[in-house]
Chains A and B, each alone.
Chain A
Amino acid sequence: MSALLRLYPRAWRERYGDELMALLEDRQPSPLDLVDLVRGAFDARLHPQLPGAQPAKSERKDPMSDRLPGVTAIGGGLLFLAGVAMVGLAPLPSFDGYRETGLALPAILLGLPLIDVALISAAVRRRGGAWGRVDTWLAIFAVGSTAVSLTGWPGLMLGFLTLIAVTATVFARYLRNAGAPPLIVAVAVAATILAVSANTEDDRIWLMAPIGLLAVVVGLLSALRPRPSASVEPA
């Protein structure tokens, strides 16, 4: 039960944790209660209700925690690049056909949602606020479309295209939030969308590489400067 309690924000646990545990000890929780607890944890994170919760969060100095999304984005980018390299460096078959992708596809398909969720989280931290509705839906689409893409054809294509769209949106939102010029944002979106032209039949697989490189660069920037300086106005 205490594991479920950890889903709640720390400030929430400090305020209501003891009372919640007492309530759960009073009556054995049903499966529906457990679902309600998880739902409550999401609610507590999305809509913090504690007086002073927002300022406390934005004033918190926790460098490791602040840098974690950036570091995760770098990890996701490297995983993605490793997947692309596995395909790109594999020998082409002697007859017309696709390269053997092996572990490359899972690496690519798991790297993308990792990049997406990490950069959404990094953007939220830059704003110094809570997860908004758009942030939540983007994360749900990123994870959901990965699950769909792992079901095989035609889910693979549908899930992959959705993932690319989500990733392009996440890059654009992060860069705009960080105050990047519109041209940089447009180039990042175009480089991401290039991935839909990638193919495992020939060298076009390398068209996916910009996503991984972008994730590493943006993740690095986020890890080095997780919050805007005083002179930068957050979007």
Chain B
Amino acid sequence: MSSALESLGRFARPATQILAILGQGPRIPAALRGELRARCGDDIGPGTLFGTLARLERRGLVEVVPSPAVPRAYRITGLGADTLEAQLASMTGRGRRVQGALTRSAVA
């Protein structure tokens, strides 16, 4: 499941961050960008933000909240939540493996 995000190349990181933020509730793009900067320290540009949103939307990981208002708000889908969970589990597992290898090399 995590490969769905890893296959996004340079968009994988902002995609994971956006899914994590949308996991807490719908956001409009400007709010998403502000939270990405405040919480993740990443000041992603508008082209990258919409490039990432388009990829997530096309894969069914996020969707627009039905409303006539502009700007529209985005929310995470069930598939998006599952994908995020798998991605975070994969990242945690990888982190543990690296930490284990570093500990072993320090002891040796």
Please give the distance in Å from B3's CB to the nearest CB on chain A.
18
Check A65 for interface membership: any CB of B closer than 8 A: no
Where chain A touches its partner, the secondary structure class is helix
B58 contacts which chain A residues (CB < 8 A)?
Answer: 49-51
Q: How many residues of A contact B (CB 8 A)?
A: 26
- Could you say which residues of chain A place their CB within 8 Å of the CB of B33? 23, 27
Q: Which residues of A contact B70 (CB under 8 A)?
A: 18-19, 22
A39 sits at the interface (CB 8 A):
yes
Known: A26-B30, A27-B30, A49-B58. A19 touches B50 (CB 8 A): yes
Count of interface residues, chain B, beta-carbon cutoff 8 Å: 20
Across the interface, do A23 and B47 meet the contact criterion of CB distance under 8 Å?
no
- A37-B71 contact, Cβ under 8 Å, with A16-B54, A50-B54: no
Judging by beta carbons under 8 Å apart, are B29 and A40 in contact?
A: no
A192 to B65, CA, bound (A): 56
Indicate if A183 sits at the interface (CB-CB under 8 A). no
Instruction: Give chain B's interface residues, CB within 8 Å of chain A.
Output: 28-30, 33, 44-51, 53-55, 57-58, 70-72
- For the complex with contacts A12-B54, A23-B50, 5 further pairs of A-B residues with Cβ separation under 8 Å are A19-B72, A37-B46, A40-B47, A40-B48, A50-B54
